[in-house]
A and B are shown apart, each in its own frame.
Chain A
Amino acid sequence: MATETKPSETNSSAEHIGKWGMVIDQDLCTGCQACVAACAMENNISFVGEEDSGYGRSMHWIRIERFWEGVYPEIKMTPNQPMLCQQCLSAPCEPVCPAYATVHSLAEHINLQVYNRCVGTRYCGNNCPYQMRSFNWRDYERPKPLDNQLNPDVTVRQRGVMEKCTFCIQRINKAEDAAKAEGREIADGEFTTACAQVCPANAIVFGRTDNPESFVSQLARIHGHGVKHLEELGTLPNVTYFKGG
């Protein structure tokens, strides 16, 4: 159900603005990792080096999962599965943070990570069924002048802080601000997340899932056989996957 928000009425951040969601087509995803690179560049994600990345400490906010089916020569790669924070509507990570560092955004209907409140208990990391949360195990070095590249719209995280995909909330906020300033709604496709923007196969589509006319909603409708991962847990994820094939 689409909810109309008159920008002139809004001055509270809790006002319902839109429900952001994604559709990911696993049939199209080639596993090229462009989304991973784009996300890292957009969100100031640290690189951790060989040892830590092999020990489950890489900071990827989105990762491409692939498995195998069958045995040689009848062997297939399973459809590439880009996994990112599902921005669950009933997120298991939220109730368990003792410091309220991960809360639900009533306006954008996504799960927020408040870096400057996080104390680092990592309960949220344990409780995420998709295991999409990254923890800053160290202060990872960015030798000068690599830090010139840092996006000023995104906080750089300290050691001891949990982080995760935010659906590029900095872009959401920019678009919302621009739309509000001009007294209009955000147009579908006016902006998108870094991963969706770069995907050469157009496998990731981002938009308002509460607007039935948005591209995201249309895709979900037409395709018909979208799945939500680990749906049985009742997390109500905001990302729909098309297995395709």
Chain B
Amino acid sequence: MAMIGLWILILLGMIAVGAPLLAPHDPFAQELGNRLQPLWSEGHILGTDSLGRDLLSRLIYGSRITLYIVGLVALIAPITGLLVGTVAGYVGGWTDQVLMRITDIFLAFPRLVLALAFVAALGAGIENAVLAISLTAWPPYARIARAETLTIRSSDYISAIQLQGAGAMRIITKHIWPLCISSLIVRVTLDMAGIILAAAGLGFLGLGAQPPSPEWGAMISEGRRFILDHWWVATVPGMAIFTVSLAFNLLGDGLRDVLDPKDSEK
């Protein structure tokens, strides 16, 4: 099952890269005379939206935006979490307390509410959406990293390197990080689905990618008005989000089976 997830994602990547070649129409080209064409229409396999733009092309270009957002968050959140968590876990004492309370504060915010606040402060746009999502996504990674660090910290091999005079920086970066990475990777892949949905949610609320950008969430929002008679305008991007989320989940499950079976001494 994980392989299916992987293939879907590879496909997504290829579509995103090959967008200009694959899209039959310009995603921004409006054809008001051709509005709300159903599926399998002439020249528009997935129909058109309320401004006559080809849904397939918008979907294809939208994949780029999705990957952009997901990619950035997947980098920022775990790395921040890793830094905070490992330092807190290894150093302990006040540093640990302070860092963990900061983590708790960020954890307390519901994702979309924080995003709203951000956007209100900084204005709408993809970059701010990415920032907002990352800010709420990193705390769980900090917790995972800290938990792993606490377990690892008492191992003999850490004691041994301390006995060679190694400093905290070296121990954290060269000895602890390599062991935390696999659980973080698993968590990231499982989180992706949530990140995509958050991005789509922001887009839906008009806070993420701005029109006329073909971001999938924004497309659902635009199609909401026509859901009864022209259901495909909202459903098609919805299916895309569903498929990609599912793919990440499947991949994450598979990765966990491979990377996680308690890495405790084989």
A and B co-occur in one complex: no
Q: Which residues of B contact A (CB under 8 A)?
A: none
